């Protein structure tokens, strides 16, 4: 089947395109991109005024929870959440049960993704067996089974020597090492950012330096090994300083920031609802100076990607004392509205920069296809409605879990439609488009 997306503003930074173009989709791939393309038997889709056609967004940091924690999320519910949030692909973290440290687990995840047949799934393997930090996992095996990167996310790689070996080893297979940057001794049993709000609520804190130490370690080892090092969910201004310093020195370091870290501060611990466990994540919501630094990094190009750290947890698990609640919030269905509202409509960045953060750069960092709308590529396309009024409603999220601090938020900008391999898997009924 052929579809002609007609008359929309197309933003494809990789090909230097930002203007009105038609896109002809033939089956699962993009056949032609041009102006005033003839219908030629294709179904014509009128991409109305105010809609923007982008290469499919890729969320390079999600937790799909399967296998082992299906009460929180499954590959099917997680990828349904992804397409509803405008993501045509996700990279899933290995801290499942069992850990994705073995090709069989990778294969299982990919089988589930094939059955769900929604967003593309790129598994990320563990650095070490069981992510315990002792011995390297069989990384070549993981690569062969389909893993695109390695990490011990949830925790930092235990020792500097193991991180060094992982960087050396993974680079042979063209994979980056993604690091949850944190000094465990400095983190201690902290549950929130060490600052005024944690002190006033009596919560144990962890300072930004706890994260920055991990970033500094990784940047030094990436320099030593010449390998690619990616900083997951960066939140502290000292971490950004370390990343900038590394980039200036030519080190292969990249980083991502989650929407909650450029939107909220630790003030959310106290208001509107004090001790709301949906404000508990790791790394924690930090003070205003850190949040502002993340915005600056996004604006000036030091930050490479926006990734959600989508971390579904069951309602019952979050309905406990703050200290006892698990870290994390869902993010797949709130990322695009938050990014448009807080980054684009505030004038901080242009739409084309947002496409780099959500599509071009994640594809580049993970060495996966996508990130452009070139002819011959798979037709993975996200159509955004930058001016759509969006109201976040936790109960309506497609994710199996509803743990979001953004319930009831009204934002400007949303997703109009998501196409994966030419198939429209999500069409927003509030958008003026029919597919």
Partner 1 sequence: MPTDIARFGVTATSSIDEAVRDADVIMMLRIQLERMEGAFFPSLREYFNVFGMTEARMHLARPDVMIMHPGPMNRGVEIASEVADGPYSVILDQVANGVAVRMAVLYLLAGGAEHEEAA
Residue numbers annotated as active site: 309
Q: Does 199 bind partner 1 (CB under 8 A)?
A: yes
Distance in Å, CB of 173 to partner 1, minimum: 42
Q: Does 301 bind partner 1 (CB under 8 A)?
A: no
Helix (H, G, I), strand (E, B) or coil at 48: coil
Q: Which of 14, 181, 198, 228 binds partner 1 (CB under 8 A)?
A: 198
- Compare residues 208 and 424 and give the one whose CB is closer to partner 1: 208
CA distance 297 to 402: 29
Kindly report the backbone phi and psi dihedral angles of residue 240, in degrees, each rounded to the nearest multiple of 5, phi listed first: -60, -40
Q: Does 194 bind partner 1 (CB under 8 A)?
A: yes
Q: Does 435 bind partner 1 (CB under 8 A)?
A: no
Q: Which of 403, 312, 404 is nearest to 75 (CA)?
A: 312
Q: Which of 2, 55, 44, 4 is nearest to 27 (CA)?
A: 2
- Compare residues 59 and 194 and give the one whose CB is closer to partner 1: 194
Give the start-end residues of each E strand in 239-397: 253-257, 305-306, 381-391
Q: Does 274 bind partner 1 (CB under 8 A)?
A: no
CA distance 317 to 287: 26
Question: How many residues sit in the footprint of partner 1 (CB under 8 A)?
Answer: 8
Stretch that binds partner 1, among 15-23, 77-85, 121-129, 194-202 (CB under 8 A): 194-202
Distance in Å, CB of 156 to partner 1, minimum: 21
Q: Does 200 bind partner 1 (CB under 8 A)?
A: yes
Distance in Å, CB of 296 to partner 1, minimum: 22
Q: What are the beta bridge partners of residue 254?
A: 230
Q: Which of 46, 136, 196, 364 binds partner 1 (CB under 8 A)?
A: 196
Q: What residues numbered 173-192 form the site for partner 1, per CB under 8 A?
A: 188
Distance in Å, CB of 325 to partner 1, minimum: 20
Q: Does 195 bind partner 1 (CB under 8 A)?
A: yes
- Compare residues 162 and 201 and give the one whose CB is closer to partner 1: 201
Q: Does 284 bind partner 1 (CB under 8 A)?
A: no
The CA–CA distances, whole Å, from 228 to 126, 128, 205, 231 equal 16, 17, 31, 10
Strands 305-306 and 253-257: parallel
Q: Please count the other Cβ atoms lying within 10 Å of the Cβ belonging to residue 36.
A: 9
Contact 420, 348 (CB under 8 A): no
Given the rule CB under 8 A, which residues bind partner 1?
A: 188, 194-196, 198-200, 205
């Amino acid at each position: 089947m052929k579809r002609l997306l007609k008359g929309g503003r197309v933003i494809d930074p990789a090909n230097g395109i930002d203007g009105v173009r038609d896109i002809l989709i033939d089956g699962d791939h993009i056949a032609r991109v041009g102006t005033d393309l003839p219908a030629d038997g294709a179904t014509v889709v009128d991409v109305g005024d105010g809609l923007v056609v982008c290469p499919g967004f890729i969320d390079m940091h999600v937790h799909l929870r399967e296998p082992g924690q299906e009460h929180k999320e499954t590959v099917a519910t997680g990828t349904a959440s992804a397409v509803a949030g405008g993501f045509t692909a996700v990279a899933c973290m290995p801290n499942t049960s069992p850990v994705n440290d073995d090709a069989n687990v990778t294969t299982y995840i990919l089988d589930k993704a094939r059955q769900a047949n929604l967003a593309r799934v790129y598994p990320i393997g563990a650095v070490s067996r069981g992510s315990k930090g002792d011995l390297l996992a069989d990384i070549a095996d993981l690569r062969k089974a389909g893993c695109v990167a390695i990490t011990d996310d949830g925790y930092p790689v235990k020792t500097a020597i193991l991180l060094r070996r992982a960087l050396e080893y993974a680079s042979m297979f063209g994979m980056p090492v993604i690091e949850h940057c944190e000094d465990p001794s400095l983190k201690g049993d902290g549950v929130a950012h060490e600052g005024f709000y944690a002190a006033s609520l009596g919560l144990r804190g962890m300072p930004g330096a706890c994260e920055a130490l991990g970033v500094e370690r990784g940047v030094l080892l990436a320099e030593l090994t010449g390998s690619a090092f990616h900083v997951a969910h960066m939140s502290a201004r000292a971490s950004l300083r370390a990343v900038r310093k590394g980039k200036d020195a030519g080190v292969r370091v990249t980083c991502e920031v989650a929407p909650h870290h450029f939107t909220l501060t630790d003030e959310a611990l106290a208001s509107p609802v004090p001790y709301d466990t949906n404000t508990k994540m790791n790394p924690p919501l930090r003070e205003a100076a850190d949040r502002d630094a993340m915005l600056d990094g996004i604006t000036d190009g030091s930050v490479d990607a926006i990734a959600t750290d989508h971390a579904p947890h069951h309602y019952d698990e979050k309905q406990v004392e703050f200290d006892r609640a698990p870290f994390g919030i869902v993010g797949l269905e709130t990322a695009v509205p938050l990014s448009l509202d807080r980054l684009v409509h505030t004038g901080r960045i242009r739409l084309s920069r947002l496409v780099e953060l959500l599509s071009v750069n994640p594809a580049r960092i993970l060495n996966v296809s996508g990130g452009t709308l070139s002819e011959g590529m798979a037709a993975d396309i996200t159509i955004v409605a930058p001016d759509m009024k969006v109201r976040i409603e936790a109960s309506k999220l497609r994710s199996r879990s509803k743990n979001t601090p953004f319930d009831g938020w009204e934002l400007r900008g949303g997703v109009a439609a998501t196409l994966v391999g030419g198939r429209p898997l999500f069409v927003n009924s509030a958008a003026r488009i029919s597919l």
